Structure 1
Amino acid sequence: MPAILAAEPDAVLLIVGGGPYEQDLRRLATATGVAGSVRFTGSVPWSELPAHYGAGDVFAMPCRTRRGGLDVEGLGIVYLEASATGLPVVAGDSGGAPDAVLDGETGWVVPGDSPTPTADRITTLLADKELRHRMGERGREWVEQKWRWDLLAEHLKKLL
C-alpha cells in the first residue's frame, strides 16, 4: 500500500470481511503509515457483497502458497465474482487462482509473495481508466460465456 499511495495518493484500500488476520492487518496498516487509507468492513453478509465490489475500481487478492505448498488458494471464486461485476482483477499465483483470471485480459496474475509486482499492476490499473474498463468488460463477458452456474451444471451433468 505504501507503493500504491506513492503513485496514487488518493487510493483507498477496502478490506472486506473479517477473519483471524484482521488485527494483524490493522497493526500493519498503522506500522506502515497507511492506516488513514485503509478501511476494514468486518464480516459482510453475502447479499451485500455486490455493493462492496461496486465500490471499487480494482479487485486485488494477491494470494500466496504457504506452509511448504500445503496451503494453496482453491479456484478463487472471488476473482470471478469481481469479474462478473466488471472489475479488473489482480490475483496471486497460488493454486487455482490463476484459473479464474485471463492473464492480461481480465486482469493479471502476480507472484503472491512479492508486493512490488502487485503494487505495479494495481497502480497501472488505477492510472488508466480505459484499461480498467476494457479488462472489466472482458471479465464480465468471460464469466457470462464460461462460468455461469447453468453452464457449469450442464458440464457436470455430462461428466456424470
Structure 2
Amino acid sequence: HTLPSFYAAADAFAMPCRSRRRGLEVEGLGIVYLEAAASGLPVLAGDSGGAPDAVRDGETGHVVDGHSVAATADRLTRLLRNLELAHEMGEKGRHWVQTEWTWDRSYATLAGLLHSAGVAG
C-alpha cells in the first residue's frame, strides 16, 4: 500500500466533506479519518454525516463546516503554523484510535446494543 508513505510525509490530514443534495448525500463514518489519526496526524473533517464521529474536535483535530472555505483555511492554517500542537493532536488521535476503535471494542459495543434491544443473549 502507498497510503502509509503519504501519511508519513504529511503534517496534517484534511478532508472537509460536506453534505450535498439537501442532506441526502452525506459522508459516512469516514474510515480515512481514523487511518490518518492512527498514523499520528491531526485530522480536519467536515461536519457531514458520520465524519465528526471520527474526530474529537479540539483534541485529535477539528470539525469544520465543509462549505466554509474560511473556517477550513483558518483551522488548517492554525495547525500548520503550530506544528507542536499538530503533533500533540496527532499523538492523541493515535492513542484514541488504538484504544477506542479496535475490533474488540467494536464487538463489545455491538453486543451491548443487541443485548439491550433484546436481540441477543
Per-residue CA distance 1:106-157 (angstroms, 9 max, x = gap): 0000000011111111111111111011100110111011101232133334
**TM-score (normalizing by structure 1):** 0.68
Between the two proteins, what is the percent identity of the paired residues?
A: 64
Aligned to 2:90: 136
Structure 1's consecutive aligned runs of 4 or more residues displaced over 2 angstroms after TM superposition are 153-160
Structure 1: unaligned runs, 5 residues or longer: 1-46
Aligned to 1:122: 76
Alignment coverage as a number of residue pairs: 114
Per-residue CA distance 1:32-71 (angstroms, 9 max, x = gap): xxxxxxxxxxxxxxx2211111111010000000001100
Aligned to 1:98: 52
CA distance in 2, matches of 1:86, 1:155: 25
Higher relative contact order (CA 8 A, sep 6+): 2
**TM-score (normalizing by structure 2):** 0.89
RMSD value, Cα: 1.2
CA distance in 2, matches of 1:149, 1:77: 14
Aligned to 2:34: 80
Query: Partner of 2:10: helix, strand, or coil?
Result: coil
Which residue type is aligned with residue 95 of structure 2? E
